Amino acid sequence: VRPRVIFSGIQPTGVPHLGNYIGALRQWVQLQHHEPQETKLIYSIVDLHAITMPQPPDQLRRCKREALAALLAIGIDPDRATVFHQSSVPAHSELMWILSCTASVGYLSRMTQWKSKLNVSEGSTFADRTIASRLKLGLLSYPVLQAADILIHRATHVPVGHDQQQHIEFARECATNFNHAYGSHLVLPDVLIPPVRRVMSLTDPTSKMSKSHKLERSRILITDSPNEIKTKIGSALTDSMPGMSYDTVNRPGISNLLDILSIFDAGGRNPEQLAGEYRDLGPKQLKELVTDSVVAGLDGIRERYVELLTASDARLDQIEAEGTRKARESAEETMQLVRTAVGL
């Protein structure tokens, strides 16, 4: 049996928030401890995906460095995992082009994100055409780049949330189409579904914590200071019902706080158990408990992050260079097979 290869990516779009950490990045760290040593772990900061929404170049450069620092600060070990910036391995783009030549436009245009940007009902072909003419090609074709990211490293497993499953399905489709045309050279990846843990916005607990939320105090950044964490949790929306109960429908704010408390609970208690234990507390006391547990849960991340980003610290550059080298080597193995198969 071939060893497993696990690939995952994150866009360099600012310091990760608690939702990103709990929903995705913390699993990246845990895989380092739970997977057998021969499993390859490949984590990419996908800067080419970030430019589907154009942004100032200096901001992108800064975000790329911050993303790398954030991954190291949460405990990604560059000796155990391959960590690299996607654009440092041009073969990702090369494979994307080759896959584009056997991928179906029909399949791509049925994918959710493209359809939501088109925002038109079935059959309105005239509107389709006018709206589509303003949209950028990258917004349609980025799933092919995602497929290349995965296939180029011969990933067997990709940890993704439910919202991303159709992209893995599409990557399998790309591999199948390529293999059909040129022989079985690409590995079909499987989804690795992480336990679902959604963190909700602190100010609007019926929607998920997200970087797109306007209010900064709606989210906790993994690099927030204990004081910032205290202030944000202190101003979280709760309710005026007496006592504690876990009820996501009628008490979304309190329930989100109980969820967060359970995430970092050393005793592994679930939110219902915590609600029972603290049934007589008011929101203010609950917030104090949550603040303490989040501060403890994120302890050290901020310090390591700040240290890595100081100009005098050369570790980031060294780690980046080493990650690039390892990722290029891994990509090149596949590309040699692919180029030969295609006749390039």
Chain contacts with ligand ADP (rule: CB under 6 A) = 11, 19-20, 22-24, 161, 198-199, 208-212
Helix (H, G, I), strand (E, B) or coil at 208: strand
Distance of alpha carbon 20 from alpha carbon 196, whole angstroms: 12
Rounded to 10 degrees, the C-alpha dihedral 51/57/61/67 comes to -40
Say whether 117 is catalytic: yes
Q: How far is CA 162 from CA 108, 192, 275, in A?
A: 18, 10, 28
- Closest distance of CB 225 from ligand ADP, Å: 20
Task: Write b or e for each residue in 78-93: b if 16 or more Cβ atoms lie within 10 A of its Cβ, otherwise e.
Answer: bebbbbbbbbbbebbe
Q: Is 211 part of the annotated catalytic residue set?
A: yes
Of the pair 17, 92, the CB lying nearest ligand ADP is at 17
Tell me whether residue 81 or residue 98 sits nearer to ligand ADP (CB atom): 81
Residue 293 C-beta: closest distance to ligand ADP, Å: 17
Quote the least distance from Cβ 165 to ligand ADP, whole Å.
11
Residues 55, 169: Cα–Cα separation, whole Å: 29
Q: Which is nearer to ligand ADP, 181 or 193 (CB)?
A: 193
Catalytic residue chosen out of the listed positions 64, 136, 208, 287: 208
- CB 146, min distance to ligand ADP, A: 13
Which residue's CB is nearer to ligand ADP, number 11 or number 177? Answer: 11
- Nearer to ligand ADP by Cβ, of 102 and 201: the residue is 201
Cβ–Cβ under 8 Å, residues 277 and 269 = yes
Of 117, 214, 232, 287, catalytic? 117
Bridge partners of 158, per DSSP, are 191
DSSP state of 251: -
Residue closest to ligand ADP (Cβ): 23
Smallest separation, CB 216 to ligand ADP (Å): 13
Overall size of the chain counted in residues: 344
Whether 232 is catalytic is: no
Helix (H, G, I), strand (E, B) or coil at 22: helix
The catalytic site residues sit at 117, 208, 211
